[in-house]
Structure 1
Amino acid sequence: MTSPIRLAWQVIWCQPGDYELGTLPDKGWNAVPVPQSLCDAAGFEGDADEVDWWYRTRTTLAEGSWTLELAGAATYAEVYADGELVASGRSAFTPLRVVLTGGRTVSLVVHIRSLRAEPVPSRPRARWRSSLVPDNALRWHRTSLQGHMPGQGSSPIVGLWRPVTLQPTPPVRIASLCTEWASGSGLLTLELVCERPGEVHLTCAGAATSLPVDGPATIELDVGAVRPWWPHTHGEPVTYPLRLEVDGVLVHERQVGFRHIAADHTDGGFALQVNGIEIFARGAVWTPVEPVGDPEVPVLRREALVALRDAGANVVRVPGTSWYADDEFLTACDDLGLLVWQDLMLATFDPPFADERWTQTLHEEVEANISRGAAHPSLAVISGGTETLQQPVLSGLSAERRELPGLYELVGRVTALAPGCVVVPSSPCSGVPQVAGSRGGALATSARRGLSHWFGVGGYRRPLSEARTSGVRFAAECLALGCPPPAYVVRESWGPDPFGDPVWTAGDARDTGADWTFLEVTEHYANELFPSYQCGRLHRLRVTAFEVIRRTLAEWRRTASVTKGAIVLSARDVVPGPGYGVLTVDGARKAGWYAMARALGSTSLQIVDEGLDGLDLHVHHDGPRPLAGVLTLSVLRADGTELESAQRAVEVAPRGSLVVNIEAELGAFRDLNGAWRAGFGGDSPYAAVRAEVAGVDEVIHLLQPLPPVEIARLTIRVLRDAVELETDTALAYADVTVPGRELDRAFVHLLPGIPLRVTTKPAPVSGQARAAALNAQRVRPVVIAEAPDAEPDRRGR
């Protein structure tokens, strides 16, 4: 395997049509890094889509055949080699590949035509308008909507935005790679494009096969018994090295995994199955890490994926407003055990399938990206776009007027390209294609069938109880709540009071046309859930976002729930401020992240209020081995005094759950949740229930608001990789900042005499130790730094 030639590119811009290949000037060119979006090019101000761009470079090629590949050129591109047009493209997402003859010095020129100046057909006319982008002409352009959606803070992709490589043409190229896993055995199938005859030798997982090739060829390898790839929540994401040699020379090597993905649509639902096991799929809608081409992006992107994994996510959904996941992204998800849900790059527009040229461009784009992605075990679900079916429904069109036969043809093509993936018409969709002339059937807006983008709890301000009563089957988008960044981030960027700052205000996201912001949605639930509070406004908002997301996810994860998945909108904020990402724009953990981590851990305890049936404890265990331990239940006063307790051994099967009714386990009716309004005249002594499976997880559930506190004292013992929190006063939803550390839990309930140990990781957290709690006007932290190796045996985790 030979390293590619490094190319040094220059760029110049002009008004559309001012230059042709033969009239390009000698001067005025500027060096430019590739890959990079030209919107971020130094020295250019204005709309990069309004002008033409020209790239040039020269290089000397040794004898032989060379392949030039442009992994992404946005959007209308022409490639010239020594003055000859050798490739052209009309999609930002379709790679361009050119074979060049070596033994010479070659001049390469790439012309990026102005997107704004590109004429668009007048037919077919759009039957509905996009809810995301004001410029409806963009439906004709196969480019990303990033940078075109108001309030998103990103730049459009323009120019050579993905890597350009020039390297010796390999004798064999892999056109597609598919893996299968069934009954414990793996099968590998490769479609090869051969540039010259040779003997191909393929090895993987200890198995090998050889085949003479001369032209297109298919090679299969039965690798026999292999361990399957699992999402990290349910097992180990096992991969095996693959090596492809031609005539004894290595031409390709990579890791591959074997797994089986399916979907259960029983009774109109949607549940993902991995290797024959139904999973509760959970995660976040991916937010691209920008600027495109920045050398720090791969590191920042992986850090964001690691953060989602650590929050208990096992799915990352790449929306149709961005761009297809590249191999680097998919490889990271392979390694981390994250399933990838890939939307095709269609979003809310009326796709002009009746235009043959546009449709052919789309088909080529999809084939290139899905064939490549299907080689990764992490790629699990492919959808025909974002809200492709929902937008015409919301526009009020009849079934006849919103028909999209071209979309279903496209879905059929995708199914053939990625037979190992679940393919759905759109996100969301009812799961049943609309039939021409039919006025019945479920709409794409239905929560009770198929996939929904469900914001009943969220933007539509419905009661939290509707998470259950709405019968949500699978929330492919949900729970977008505006949330302030962590306290130390706010202090560094805005000081003690960010409200009114223009940057803060700009970061408060709103839907196009909405008269409300997502932070106002959180304020609504704050008034509903926490009308009485002692803390500041910022902490109350964080607590509210945490509790709404945590409680809803815990509700949906219940054993008896009909909901089989939840994908939170979104992974990261797009700009600084109180956005709805679970991470800040710089990757710091927000309240939404802590809510996910609390509700979605592979093994976790959740207490759910069942009304007149009292409180149920759910012991969720997604791991591959049985869970055995001792369950301890305690009913506590606000001062930490134990009033009642019970203890018993529990065992949970692999990838199973256990439900325990707390009062039944205690052996007596106590009306702990106050549903029966029994006997205490509003002065119940019961403040909290604590449940613990030793060494596994513990949770404290408040039964009533804790007493208000003017000043509370919180002791923070800083250990090697943890902190231990202890208070002399009951604190609700305590959030602690420790310099140099990021805590793995926040918004915790602390009672006197019950220390809580929280693991930490190093993080760029500056300033001094601080703390806040919902029921305290002020929390005074006392930091005790213990010896690095001191790990005292204390109660709690």
Structure 2
Amino acid sequence: MKEVVQLAEGWSLGYDGSALPARVPGCVHTDLLAAGEIEDPFLGLNEHDVAWVGKRAWTYSRHIDASDTSAQRYERTDLVFEGLDTAAVITLGDRELGRTRNMHRTYRFDVTGRHGGLHVEFASAYDEAETVRAMVGDRPNVYPEPFQYIRKMACSFGWDWGPTLVTAGIWRPVRLERWSTARLAQVRPLVTVVDGEGRVEVQVEIERTGQGAGRRLYVQASVGGARVGTAVDGDRATLTLRVPDVELWWPRGYGDQPLYDLEVTLGEDADGAGERTLDWWHRRVGFRTVGIDRSADERGTGFTLVVNGVRIFARGVNWIPDDVFPSRVTHERYRTRLTQAVDANVDLVRIWGGGIYEDHAFYDICDELGLMVWQDFLFACAAYPEEQPLRGEIEAEARDNVVRLMPHPSLILWNGNNENLWGFRDWDWEPELAGDSWGEGYYLGVLPRVVAELDPTRPYTAGSPWSGSWDHHPNDPGHGTYHSWEVWNRQDYAEYRANVPRFVAEFGWQGPPTMATLRRALPGERLAPDSPGMLHHQKAEDGNGKLNRGVARHFLLPEDDFDRWHYLTQLVQARAVAAGIEHWRSHWPECAGTVVWQLNDCWPVSSWAAVDGDGRLKPLHHELRRVYADRLVTLQPGTDGPILAVVNQTAQPWQASVTLRRVQADGAVLADEVVDLTVGAYAVHRQPVPQELVPDAASGKEFLVADEGDLRSVHFPVTDKDFGYPVPDYDVTVASVPGADDGSLDVVVTAHTLVRDLLLQPDRLGPEAVCDTGLRTLLPGERAVLKVKGAKETGANAVRAALFCVEPA
């Protein structure tokens, strides 16, 4: 059996003629932070002060001995790096082992019998990128940074939500592997289901030592009680396992997520017994079928996920690296963030192409939670050269990661790129390129070929957005996947309702982070929308201008009242995303999914995220939980009056009883009606609201309420600033939860007037405080109980100061 020695300890980082302790996995920035050599770049304006870190070379060093007594028991010792960021020269003693130029690959070097100083010398990513640019020529780019010339996490060069913190370092584990005779060089399980029978075709590649050449080996695989083995004379083997009556893996909400242990062992053959085990491989797999229905119909070309034969409306979020220093993202942090996705009723997470192929822990947790994973290949918002040295790196990277990730049942789609096909057509790239390569050969050639060869069990799409071919505009809402950014950039969120795309793979609206996050990130700053720290932690072009215009379309923009501005910008973010999702969900099956930009942040920043950079929930997160619930009642504006849409995303019919009320601003009910209806499984019911219940827009004082049990939707026919709101009047009582000593409170709000979009910001009661409730609209006489945990401030006055709602203009 082979021996593995992790090399996590004993590293140093060369710095100005001396050596600092280095942590592996890690990066230069985290090592400098730990040594007190730089200030936290997430705080204040410190990002500017550490720009020099990414512009110089760095060396990691330690001693290794691959010739010690333990190593001598084996024929071969390999040095394995799971991730090097990025352009590096590796030497051991006086011998160069190799050179790397790709953050997204694994590297293996034979160091048998060698010992001495191990040095990993990293060039500046800027220098490497400029070297490649000089070789292949200029290409257009959305941002003024050279990320398309180096196979590195693109967003470390900055994005419209991220800082420019260009990293270097050994960002994933490094180890010594000692082995004899042969090892499992690659295991590819192709997992399918045929007529209720689970099948795993295990493709095995074997590497042999010189002494192992010509020896007869034995490979055995087992899963779900099935076991099969075969003798191997060469370096490849295929084993097929069959599991009758297999339990299917389902996305969350559709069934359970049973996982099966798949084990592969390699041994020397002794009369077929595989007497001495040489190597062992293990992964958990799940049995399911997955595809995309891209059929053409009278409305265009569909894009509907189909899992185990069931067509699914995808309730998705986009995922960016959870930290600009990804080595800091632990298994526990992955679980926290992905559980937050589940708590928002999300069932699909798209890993965006400007980030990384995440750690196995990410996909393991998605396997367990039933979160479908859409995986981009790592290309985003730029024209990518197709010449060497990049072309060979990109194919090697794709092969490495397809094989690494394909065992995970949660992985349901490979996507070629983010917005590059769209960029070529619409962003003036074509004339600038003048015939130069720009990545099309990757997205329509190399990548689909690699997926078809290595992982034919999963679908591939060339990009997002993509209409399926050049016969249609790449971002045509009637065909394939669609990105909706005109609304945030130039229009009111009501314009989400102007069309019904087949699948909305990106859309979103910005909002600031929570107040506790702002106070931590901007210590000592007098907060204002345009204060220095706020502007620095706003990376979008004219981001604050767009935030302000979004508010001003509905409310009077506050002056010299940051708390009010903060509430209204978070409110508009939540309302905007909800408006899009409710509209598009109400048009299932024509629209088959929405993927919100974005779930998470990589640092404290004003952005489109539902969970801010410190992991705190913004109001958007609570609103996602409402609009992504299995059952949804929504009132949609229509040409001749509001439409009642009732969405049922469960396997059982829904006998719904919806109470409609036409209400005055003072709470008087002008008309009401109970609508009893049946919504089929995985179906939507739409019907016009009766005319006598349609609020009079001209009055500016009427609105419509739809209630079904705990579900509520409200429709105001005019903007908030044009509506005759009363001054909100409500009582607040606070009660500690009996027996709880963790700051748990029940906050009871009793409304005496209409109270629209009541919000408790729990972090104002303590930085770790959370609330179970987001935005709530109460009618006169109604009562809401808001459950808070982790509060430090528990008095009624403090609680009242943390409560916000819509006020009259």
TM range (shorter): 0.7 to 0.9
Q: Does 1:412 align with 2:448?
A: yes
2:554: which partner in 1?
A: 529
- Partners of 1:140 and 1:496 in 2: CA distance: 41
In proportion to residue count, which structure has more helix?
A: 2
Deviates more, 1:361-370 or 1:65-74: 65-74
- Partners of 1:135 and 1:649 in 2: CA distance: 58
**Cα deviation 1:108-150 (Å, max 9, x = unaligned):** 3333334444433645433x41012x244x4332222222126
Q: Which runs of 5+ in 1 are unaligned?
A: 16-26, 435-440, 664-668, 779-797
1:55: which partner in 2?
A: 61
Contact 1:618 1:659 in 2 (8 A): yes
Report SS of the residue matched to 1:477: strand
2:581: which partner in 1?
A: 553
Go from structure 1 to structure 2 and tell me whether the alpha carbon gap of 1:706 and 1:591 turns closer, same or farther (over 3 Å shift). Answer: farther
- Structure 1 residue identity aligned to 2:6: I
- Structure 2 residue identity aligned to 1:329: F
Question: Displacement, 1:295?
Answer: 5.2
1:187: which partner in 2?
A: 199
- Partners of 1:67 and 1:510 in 2: CA distance: 45
Go from structure 1 to structure 2 and tell me whether the alpha carbon gap of 1:182 and 1:637 turns closer, same or farther (over 3 Å shift). Answer: farther
1:339: which partner in 2?
A: 372
- Partners of 1:154 and 1:333 in 2: CA distance: 29
- Partners of 1:47 and 1:168 in 2: CA distance: 36
Aligned ranges 1:142-181 → 2 under 5 Å: 142-149=151-158, 152-153=162-163, 155-169=165-179, 171-181=183-193
Report SS of the residue matched to 1:29: strand
- Structure 1 residue identity aligned to 2:89: E
**Cα deviation 1:35-64 (Å, max 9, x = unaligned):** 112233224763344214242332444422
- Structure 2 residue identity aligned to 1:164: V
1:692: which partner in 2?
A: 708
- Partners of 1:750 and 1:657 in 2: CA distance: 27
- Structure 2 residue identity aligned to 1:324: Y
TM-score (norm 2): 0.82
Q: Does 1:95 align with 2:135?
A: no
2:149: which partner in 1?
A: 140
Go from structure 1 to structure 2 and tell me whether the alpha carbon gap of 1:766 and 1:251 turns closer, same or farther (over 3 Å shift). Answer: farther
Q: Does 1:11 align with 2:12?
A: yes
1:682: which partner in 2?
A: 699
Question: Displacement, 1:457?
Answer: 1.7
1:443: which partner in 2?
A: 473
- Partners of 1:735 and 1:351 in 2: CA distance: 45
- Structure 1 residue identity aligned to 2:230: L
- Structure 2 residue identity aligned to 1:753: G
Q: Does 1:431 align with 2:479?
A: no
1:713: which partner in 2?
A: 731
- Partners of 1:446 and 1:76 in 2: CA distance: 39
Go from structure 1 to structure 2 and tell me whether the alpha carbon gap of 1:445 and 1:628 turns closer, same or farther (over 3 Å shift). Answer: closer
- Structure 2 residue identity aligned to 1:709: V
Report SS of the residue matched to 2:634: strand
Aligned ranges 1:346-357 → 2 under 5 Å: 346-353=379-386, 355-357=387-389
Question: Displacement, 1:604?
Answer: 2.6
Question: Displacement, 1:446?
Answer: 3.1
- Partners of 1:366 and 1:530 in 2: CA distance: 49
2:776: which partner in 1?
A: 748
1:40: which partner in 2?
A: 30
Out of 618, 637, 641, the position equivalent to 2:646 is 618
- Structure 1 residue identity aligned to 2:88: A
Out of 108, 111, 114, the position equivalent to 2:121 is 111
Deviates more, 1:63-72 or 1:628-637: 628-637
Q: Does 1:472 align with 2:498?
A: no
Deviates more, 1:190-199 or 1:452-461: 190-199
Question: Displacement, 1:631?
Answer: 4.6
Question: Displacement, 1:175?
Answer: 2.9
1:730: which partner in 2?
A: 754
1:672: which partner in 2?
A: 694
Aligned ranges 1:611-650 → 2 under 5 Å: 611-621=639-649, 623-628=650-655, 630-636=657-663, 638=665, 644-647=671-674
- Structure 1 residue identity aligned to 2:576: V
Question: Displacement, 1:601?
Answer: 1.6
Question: Displacement, 1:531?
Answer: 4.6
Out of 592, 597, 601, the position equivalent to 1:569 is 597
- Structure 2 residue identity aligned to 1:601: A
- Structure 2 residue identity aligned to 1:360: G
Contact 2:747 2:788 in 1 (8 A): no
Contact 1:382 1:421 in 2 (8 A): yes
Deviates more, 1:566-575 or 1:714-723: 714-723
Contact 1:555 1:561 in 2 (8 A): no
2:243: which partner in 1?
A: 223
**Cα deviation 1:435-480 (Å, max 9, x = unaligned):** xxxxxx323243333222211221122x44432334433222211x
Go from structure 1 to structure 2 and tell me whether the alpha carbon gap of 1:706 and 1:331 turns closer, same or farther (over 3 Å shift). Answer: farther
Deviates more, 1:644-653 or 1:319-328: 644-653
**Cα deviation 1:393-444 (Å, max 9, x = unaligned):** 2333559848733431113223323222221222222220x4xxxxxx3232
- Partners of 1:74 and 1:490 in 2: CA distance: 30
**Cα deviation 1:467-524 (Å, max 9, x = unaligned):** 2334433222211x2312335555676788433432212122313xxxx21x322322
Deviates more, 1:416-425 or 1:493-502: 493-502
Aligned ranges 1:302-321 → 2 under 5 Å: 302-321=335-354
Question: Displacement, 1:204?
Answer: 1.7
Deviates more, 1:445-454 or 1:534-543: 534-543
Q: Does 1:77 align with 2:88?
A: yes
- Partners of 1:367 and 1:300 in 2: CA distance: 28
Deviates more, 1:67-76 or 1:483-492: 483-492
Go from structure 1 to structure 2 and tell me whether the alpha carbon gap of 1:561 and 1:596 turns closer, same or farther (over 3 Å shift). Answer: same
Question: Displacement, 1:272?
Answer: 1.9
Report SS of the residue matched to 1:146: helix
2:408: which partner in 1?
A: 376
- Structure 2 residue identity aligned to 1:50: R
- Partners of 1:765 and 1:174 in 2: CA distance: 53
Question: Displacement, 1:235?
Answer: 2.9
- Structure 1 residue identity aligned to 2:9: A
Contact 2:154 2:355 in 1 (8 A): yes
- Partners of 1:673 and 1:456 in 2: CA distance: 30
Go from structure 1 to structure 2 and tell me whether the alpha carbon gap of 1:539 and 1:350 turns closer, same or farther (over 3 Å shift). Answer: closer
Question: Displacement, 1:777?
Answer: 8.1
- Partners of 1:341 and 1:477 in 2: CA distance: 13
Contact 1:638 1:688 in 2 (8 A): no
Go from structure 1 to structure 2 and tell me whether the alpha carbon gap of 1:619 and 1:546 turns closer, same or farther (over 3 Å shift). Answer: same
- Partners of 1:556 and 1:293 in 2: CA distance: 34
Question: Displacement, 1:376?
Answer: 1.0
Aligned ranges 1:469-548 → 2 under 5 Å: 469-479=498-508, 481-487=509-515, 489-490=517-518, 497-511=527-541, 516-517=542-543, 519-531=544-556, 536-548=564-576
Contact 2:635 2:706 in 1 (8 A): no
- Partners of 2:390 and 2:557 in 1: CA distance: 57
Question: Displacement, 1:732?
Answer: 0.3
Contact 1:456 1:467 in 2 (8 A): no
- Aligned residue pairs: how many? 733
Identity within the alignment, % = 21
- Structure 2 residue identity aligned to 1:682: S
1:781: which partner in 2?
A: none
Give the aligned CA root-mean-square deviation in angstroms: 3.4
- Partners of 1:610 and 1:357 in 2: CA distance: 55
Out of 590, 601, 616, the position equivalent to 2:629 is 601
- Partners of 1:757 and 1:615 in 2: CA distance: 30
Contact 1:383 1:425 in 2 (8 A): yes
Go from structure 1 to structure 2 and tell me whether the alpha carbon gap of 1:358 and 1:724 turns closer, same or farther (over 3 Å shift). Answer: same
1:18: which partner in 2?
A: none
2:803: which partner in 1?
A: 772
- Partners of 1:5 and 1:98 in 2: CA distance: 15
- Structure 1 residue identity aligned to 2:568: R
- Structure 2 residue identity aligned to 1:57: H
Go from structure 1 to structure 2 and tell me whether the alpha carbon gap of 1:270 and 1:376 turns closer, same or farther (over 3 Å shift). Answer: same
Contact 1:189 1:219 in 2 (8 A): yes
